[in-house]
Amino acid sequence: MFKYGGVSESWGRYPHARHAREVPLAWRVGLALPATRPLLAYGQGRSYGDSCLNDGGTLLRTSGLDRLISFDPESGALRCESGVTLGEILRLMVPRGFFLPVVPGTKHVSVGGAIANDIHGKNHHRAGSFGDHVRRLELLRSDGQRLELGPGDVLFEATVGGLGLTGLITWAEIKLRRIPIAAVRSEAIPFANLEEFLRLSEESDAEFEYTVAWVDVLSRSQRGIFFRGDHAEGSPRAPRAKADIPIDVPLVNTATVRLFNTAYRAAQRLSGRMRLQHWDPFFFPLDSIGHWNRLYGRRGFLQFQCVVPTPDALRELLREPPSSPLTVLKRFGRARSPGMLSFPRPGFTLTLDLPNRGEETFAQFARLERIAIEAGGALYPAKDARMSKEAFERSYPRLREFARNVDPAFSSSFWRRVTQ
């Protein structure tokens, strides 16, 4: 759990919240929810803004709910408690020839958090979102009911992508997939502009399981690197030992972003177009630096992630982009997402990281939000610290239906901000 001066944090370290209580949960059997209100589950705090915070309320810390319950190697069905992390599942299952069907950009995410944000990965165009692979889950409601739910149940549809507001997920069953061996054959292809990115997306999504692009937003032409890969046979080198940022060092500014972008592009070119990689650095390159969020200093940073339906809206978003070192582009597939508030939908998803410079940063976000929403797009709550009530309502047309399923004892800083 991330704490700073006794205050629990999200990954972006903005906004700050003071929780009245933090209750560590340790064992799913006989678990009773505390009587204090409002309640909110907290997994690994890898959401960027305030969807995992509950200012003034009670946090239910799930990291102690960390047991695997059963595994069926025939079907690949793994049942585990909700605080188990995706990294732990991969550590145990990859040597047995299984992989998670969907992984985000970090493995330090709990199963409960992955369901509550219905997370997506580099293979959305093939595999859909995390919720598509959840077969069953148990939901503990504040009235003491334990409900076993699965696809087809209304409360399941509300809980997948439900931002932790429908109750506490105690365990879940996920269907893992078989993989040949712990390697990924990947390609890094430089592109000169957005048109080339669109062409590469089109051709690569048809052939490769994993596709994503990094964009050098400071280059006028929007050049970047397109990554594509597949699980493969081979003996890749194990990842190097992890480095750590031990203290706050506010290093991210336009000059360092320019430097980083040039160095990153050169490094990708030097390491060659084709390579056989270990799965860990391919899926989770940022995990090799512990606490990299400290590079944004004590004021923290904000991430903006939206999805827009057309390349024109994408062009508009990138017309005057703020200087973000981690700018990621991906085309989502056409699959219908399983949750009432799931974020993924057909179109292009753009992610930008910005140091928190107060009003200046908020104004940049407001401009990006307006473009995305007017184009018929949506913003992602898992990454958000400032979207407006209107943007939330326009992003999620099933919001009213969802609200009927919220547990009255559960709430979050995010939920209060966008509904009150």
Ligand X SMILES: Cc1cc2nc3c(=O)[nH]c(=O)nc-3n(C[C@H](O)[C@H](O)[C@H](O)COP(=O)(O)OP(=O)(O)OC[C@H]3O[C@@H](n4cnc5c(N)ncnc54)[C@H](O)[C@@H]3O)c2cc1C
Q: Which of 15, 38, 45, 49 touches ligand X by CB under 6 A?
A: 45
The string over 75-103, giving b where at least 16 C-beta atoms fall within 10 Å of a residue's C-beta and e elsewhere, is ebbbbbbbbbbbbbbbeebbeeebbbbbb
In whole angstroms, the minimum distance from the beta carbon of 299 to ligand X comes to: 17
Question: Measured from the CB of residue 35, what is the shortest distance to ligand X in angstroms?
Answer: 18
Q: Which amino acid makes up residue 108?
A: H
Question: Least distance in Å: CB of 76 to ligand X?
Answer: 22
Among residues 22, 106, 275, 290, which is the contact residue for ligand X, using CB under 6 A?
106
- Token pair 């803004």 is found at 49
217 interacts with ligand X by CB under 6 A: no
Q: In this chain, which of 174, 382, 385, 418 binds ligand X, going by CB under 6 A?
A: 382
Task: Tell me, residue by residue from 256 to 295, as one string, x for binding to ligand X by CB under 6 A and - for no binding.
Answer: ------------------------------x---------
CB-side exposure of 293: number of CA atoms within 13 Å?
23
Q: Which of 87, 105, 128, 236 binds ligand X (CB under 6 A)?
A: 105
Q: Per rule CB under 6 A, is residue 349 in the interface with ligand X?
A: no
List residues bridging with 225 in a β-sheet.
190, 214
* CB crowding 376-395: b at 16 or more within 10 Å, else e: ebbbbbbbbbbbbeebbebb
15 forms part of the interface with ligand X (CB under 6 A): no
Nearer to ligand X (CB atom), residue 41 or residue 225: 41
Task: Based on the shown chain and the rule CB under 6 A, indicate whether residue 104 belongs to the binding site for ligand X.
Answer: yes
Question: Nearer to ligand X by C-beta: 114 or 215?
Answer: 114
Q: State the nearest-atom distance from the C-beta of 163 to ligand X, in Å.
A: 4
Of 120 and 417, which CB lies nearer to ligand X in the complex structure? 120
Smallest distance, ligand X to C-beta of residue 43, A = 2
Minimum CB distance to ligand X smaller for 368 or for 382 = 382
| Shortest spacing between CB 105 and ligand X, in angstroms | 3
Q: At 351, which amino acid appears?
A: T
Residue 385 touching ligand X (CB under 6 A): no
The nearest distance, CB 102 to ligand X, in angstroms, is 8
Q: Is 120 or 133 the residue whose CB approaches ligand X more closely?
A: 120
* Binding residue (CB under 6 A) for ligand X from 52, 176, 194, 307: 52
Is 46 a binding residue for ligand X by CB under 6 A? The answer is: yes
Q: Which two tokens stand for residue 404?
A: 């009927």
Distance from C-alpha of 39 to C-alpha of 412, rounded to nearest angstrom: 8
Q: Give every CB contact of residue 415 below 8 A, 6+ residues apart in sequence.
A: 51, 163, 165, 406
* Total chain residues near ligand X (CB under 6 A): 33
**Segment near ligand X (CB under 6 A); pick from 40-48, 90-98, 145-153, 360-368:** 40-48
The least CB distance from residue 295 to ligand X, in Å, is 12
Q: Does 325 bind ligand X (CB under 6 A)?
A: no
Residues between 153 and 212 that touch ligand X (CB under 6 A): 163-164, 168-169
Q: Which long-range contacts link 291-295 to residues 24+ away (Cβ below 8 Å)? A: 291/244, 291/245, 291/246, 292/245, 293/11, 293/12, 293/13, 294/245, 294/246, 294/247, 294/248, 294/249, 295/245, 295/249, 295/250, 295/251, 295/252
Applying CB under 6 A, which residues contact ligand X? Answer: 11, 40-47, 51-52, 62, 82, 104-106, 109-110, 112-114, 116-117, 119-121, 163-164, 168-169, 286, 382, 412
